Amino acid sequence: MRYILILLISATFFGAAYAQKKVVNSEKKMLVISKGTYKPFFVTKSNKPIPVKAFRMDETAVTNSEFLEFVKANPEWRKSKVNRLFADTNYLRHWENDLSIGKSNQNIYHSPVVNVSWFAVQSYCKWKNKRLPSIAEWEIAGKGAPKNIKYSSLTDYILNWYKRPNLPVLPNVKSTYQNIYGLYDMHGLIWEWTSNFNSYITSTDSRGNNSDDQKLFCAAGSLNVVDKSDYAGYLRFSYRGSLKGNYCIANLGFRCVKNIN
């Protein structure tokens, strides 16, 4: 009798443990990006290649459905309540209302969420016990070679994407290519936020003003660019430089990363 009772109790716990496991399984898949070195796009005497530790990265960008869970749990991030300091008026503008993406928008439930500000996505990653990738981390992950598409060079592939106008309906995640790390859509679907998008790539003893932009983008100054054929990287660099923390843009989403302990 006692054995049966104990067996029953342990079965219950097995059940509970199984349920737990299911919860864990429903979490977004993360993939390991091995350690590497990021060469800053613009070389000066002080910005040497940055060593990057191995980390885990979300398999895909965060989707509208996933972001809805966050908004439900964090009322201050609802469309009608959000502080303009932290998100401009385009915040989630493609959603029907505060707590609904919209029945007529079912085709974007699993598309990357866009129209989200840096403050909002930073808060999302934190809520998931994750964080935003740095530029160095994102660029290393983004360099991973595609494994399921035909392409002559990744740069050509990306430039081809940049050339096309935004599609009226953003496709689902996993609709472009998967790279050698197993990550989907690093290029070809959306642009992604990074933690230090507001970094300043120039020498420490800069005189400020805008002369550094000139150095970078004009004439002889652009000779300092590491890989002049990496026009796609150049575009990402200038795109990030044009952002502000509360900007919400129709082709800008995000994915999170986590340290490996």
Partner 1 sequence: MRLSILLILITSMLFSCTNINPSNNAEDVTNLTPEKAPITSCCKPTEKVSLTNIPSESIFMLDDTFKTQHNTDFQLSTLKGKPTVIGMIFTNCTYACPRLTSDIKNISKNMGIRKDKVNFVLISFDTERDNPKQLKKFANEMGLDSEWVLLHGTEETVRTLSVMLNVQFEKDADGNFSHSNLVSVLDKNGVLKYQKEGLEAEHKETNSTLLKLIL
Site residues, partner 1 (CB under 8 A): 2-3, 6-7, 9-10, 13-14, 16-17, 20, 23-24, 44, 46-50, 70, 73-76, 81, 83-86, 118-119, 122-123, 126-129, 195-196, 198-210, 241, 244-245
CB of 156 to partner 1, least distance (A): 29
Residue pair 252/190 in contact by the 8 Å Cβ criterion: yes
What b-and-e string marks burial along 173-184, b requiring 16 or more CB atoms within 10 Å of the CB? beebbbbebebb
Token pair in block for residue 54: 């191995």
Find the shortest distance in angstroms from Cβ 190 to partner 1.
20
Distances (CA, A) of 179 to 66, 130, 144, 154, 203: 23, 22, 5, 11, 34
Please, which residue, 150 or 205, has the CB nearer to partner 1? Answer: 205
Task: Report the residue number, 160 or 214, with the smaller CB distance to partner 1.
Answer: 214
Least spacing, CB of residue 20 vs partner 1, in Å: 6
Residue closer to partner 1 (CB basis): 120 or 183 = 120
Q: How far is the CB of 258 from partner 1 (least distance, A)?
A: 13
CA-CA distance, 161 to 144, in Å (whole number)?
17
For tokens 């007529």, the residue is 104
Query: CA angle at residue 189 from 114 to 49, to 5 degrees?
Result: 95
Cβ proximity to partner 1, 65 vs 166, nearer residue: 65
